[in-house]
Every structure is written in structure tokens, then in C-alpha cells.
Amino acid sequence: MIRESTVERVRSAKNVFALTGAGVSAESGVPTFRGGGGATVWKGMPFDVISSAQMVERDLAAVWEWFDYRRGVLRELKPNAAHTTLAEWEEKFNDFTLATQNIDGLHAAAGLKDVLELHGTIWQARCLACDRSKSLRDERGGEQPQRPPVCGTCGGEMRPDVVLFGEMLPANVLERAAEAAERCDVCFVIGTSGVVYPAAGLAEIAKRAGAYVIEINPERTALSDLCDETIKGQAGEILPRFQI
Ligand code: OAD
């Protein structure tokens, strides 16, 4: 159930900020990292080991194998009602900013034009030597692409353009997200367990700056106590009900 007063508050908001996590893609078939029967493990390695900065140095081939596997899964998946509703909100609100921890590209696939990808994107590679990036979108499933990819500019080895454990978030992206969190009157926290920082800290920034913080999640999270209200349920069912 969503309270009528909450719907009204959201409808009349001028500046809206949304922070999303893996749960927003769950209804598309993307597995979450936590909850629902234990943490993700791949070839015996917990995801925070295979997705770590040290693994890039130790075994870049294994890192590519893991992200190629995930990209293969994602290639078949479509945005759900949560993604499409949030893409519509970008058009409807005066000022709407969405920052996601997801690397799956599903917000953009739903039509959201300006997505702040705090943890990068699985659809790009980045050169370890010169930092240039290139899209992996054109790689076809089935064919075996070159691994690691070679940079077209300097010939260096490339890595997935994602933020791994032990790495900093892209400073300009985090800065824009923090600014939006600071100026919003309503902040949505959708489908995140709220345990990974600095992303989770964006909800704290919004709250400290006086925003009304609404969480959408079937479970309680590390951010629930900070939120003004938690709407229990699936993002793809709850978000369209606001009928902005
Ligand atoms: P988690 O897997 O930690 O949390 C997913 C959250 O989504 C949980 O709180 C679930 O209860 C909730 N959830 C599940 N289904 C949902 C649905 N249909 N609608 C709404 N919520 C739902 O994912 P994140 O919080 O995104 O970082 O994880 C944060 C970061 O941890 C990830 O970006 C990744 C990971 O390590 C990196 O890889 C750097």
C-alpha cells in the first residue's frame, strides 16, 4: 500500500533524486548480490574476490571470463516496469537525477537519457595504459572476442570499465550524484541493501539536506531506519502506482 499523502508529496516534488541497486533489475531476471539465499559465488570465488582490483593484477583473464559471463546473461534481459517508470519520470519532473549502482545498462535501455553509473558499465572496456574506453555492445554472443581487448589508440590491454572492490568511484559521476542528492526534496532508495559506500551515503546526504526519503524494497535494509518511510514490495509493482 502507498499512502495517498506520499503520492501527493511525490507528485508535487520539484527535485527528485533516485538511488537504485540490484533489486531494481531483479524483476528483469538479474540476480542480486545479497539476500535471497546467500551471496553470489562464481567458480568457487565470492563475487567480492573475483570483482576486486587485485584480481585485475593477478588474473585479468579470469576477470574477463566473469564479466563476459555476466554480459552474456544480461544480453537476453529486458528492462522491467521499474526501469520504464523511472525513465518516464525523467521527462515528468522538473529536475530528476538517477544514480545507479548497477552496471547492467537497463536504465538506459528503458530510455533514461542521463544515468549516473556509479559503478561503471559492463558494456564498456577501458585501457589499462591510456584510460580510453570502447564499447563492447557490438560483440556478438557466440563468437570468441579477443581477451583482453586491445586498445585501438595505444595497443594496451583493456579491462572491464566497472568499479571493482578496492577502487574509487569515478569522481565526476559521484560529485554529480552528491549534488543532486543535496538539492532534492524527495529521494528514492530503490532495490539496494545500502551496505556499499560511498553509494549508500547518497541517501544520507539527501536526508541531512532535508529531503523526504522513500525506500522501496521487499525487505528491511541498512538504510531503512534513516528513511522517512519504507514501501515494502517489488520496485516494478510499486513505482508505476505513483502515476506521475
Ligand atoms: P544487493 O544485492 O546488496 O541488494 C539488493 C536489494 O534489492 C536487497 O535489499 C533486496 O531486498 C532488494 N530487492 C530484491 N528484489 C527487489 C525488487 N523486485 N524490488 C526492489 N528491491 C528488491 O545489491 P546492491 O545494494 O545494489 O558493487 O549492491 C551494491 C553493490 O554491491 C553492487 O553495485 C556491487 C555489489 O558489490 C560492485 O560490484 C562494486
> Tens digit of pLDDT for each residue in 41-78?
788 888 889 999 999 999 999 999 999 999 999 999 99
Q: Candidates 106, 217, 231, 238: which one to mutate for ligand 1, based on the most atoms within 8 Å of Cβ?
A: 217
> What's the pTM?
0.96
What is the position in ligand 1's atom list of the atom closest to the CA of 102?
33
For residues 12 and 213, what is the distance between their CA atoms, to the nearest angstrom? 15
> Tens digit of pLDDT for each residue in 157-194?
999 999 999 999 999 999 999 999 999 999 999 999 99
Identify whether the C-beta of residue 119 lies closer than 8 Å to the C-beta of residue 168: no
Q: What is the structure's pLDDT at 135?
A: 96
Q: What angle do CA 42, 64, 110 make, to 5 degrees?
A: 85
How far away, in angstroms, is 217 Cα from ligand 1 center?
10
Answer yes or no: is the C-beta of 35 below 6 A from any ligand 1 atom. yes
Residue nearest to atom 37 of ligand 1 (CA): 164
Report the DSSP pairing between strands 41-42 and 45-46: antiparallel
Domains and CATH numbers, the chain: 4-30+78-119+168-242 (3.40.50.1220), 36-76+125-162 (3.30.1600.10)
For residues 201 and 223, what is the distance between their CA atoms, to the nearest angstrom? 9
Residue nearest to atom 21 of ligand 1 (CA): 191
Report the DSSP pairing between strands 15-20 and 186-190: parallel
Check if 119 is active-site: yes
How far away, in angstroms, is 243 Cα from ligand 1 center?
25
Q: What is the structure's pLDDT at 227?
A: 98
Residue nearest to atom 29 of ligand 1 (CA): 196
Q: What is the structure's pLDDT at 1?
A: 82
Q: Residue 107 to residues 19, 68, 120, 185: CA-CA distances in angstroms?
A: 12, 20, 13, 22
The mean predicted confidence, pLDDT, of the chain is 95
Q: Choose between 147 and 139: higher pLDDT.
A: 147
SS (H, E, C) the chain: CCCHHHHHHHHCCCEEEEEECHHHHHHHCCCCCCCCCCCCEECCEEHHHHCEHHHHHHCHHHHHHHHHHHHHHHHCCCCCHHHHHHHHHHHHCCEEEEEECCCCCHHHHCCCCCEEECCEEEEEEEECCCCCEEECCCCCCCCCCCCCCECCCCCCEEEEEECCECCCCCHHHHHHHHHHHHHCCEEEEECCCCCCCCCCHHHHHHHHCCCEEEEECCCCCCCCCCCCEEECCCHHHHHHHHCC
Question: By percentage, how much of the chain surpasses pLDDT 90?
Answer: 88
Strand order in the sheet with 115-117: 115-117, 95-100, 15-20, 186-190, 212-216, 229-231
Q: What value does the mean pLDDT take over residues 128-148?
A: 88
- Given 70, 71, 83, 119, the catalytic residue: 119
- Indicate if the pLDDT at residue 37 is higher than 70: no
Identify whether the C-beta of residue 149 lies closer than 8 Å to the C-beta of residue 134: yes
How far away, in angstroms, is 17 Cα from ligand 1 center?
18
Q: Choose between 72 and 35: higher pLDDT.
A: 72
Answer yes or no: is the C-beta of 170 below 6 A from any ligand 1 atom. no
Identify whether the C-beta of residue 83 lies closer than 8 Å to the C-beta of residue 110: yes
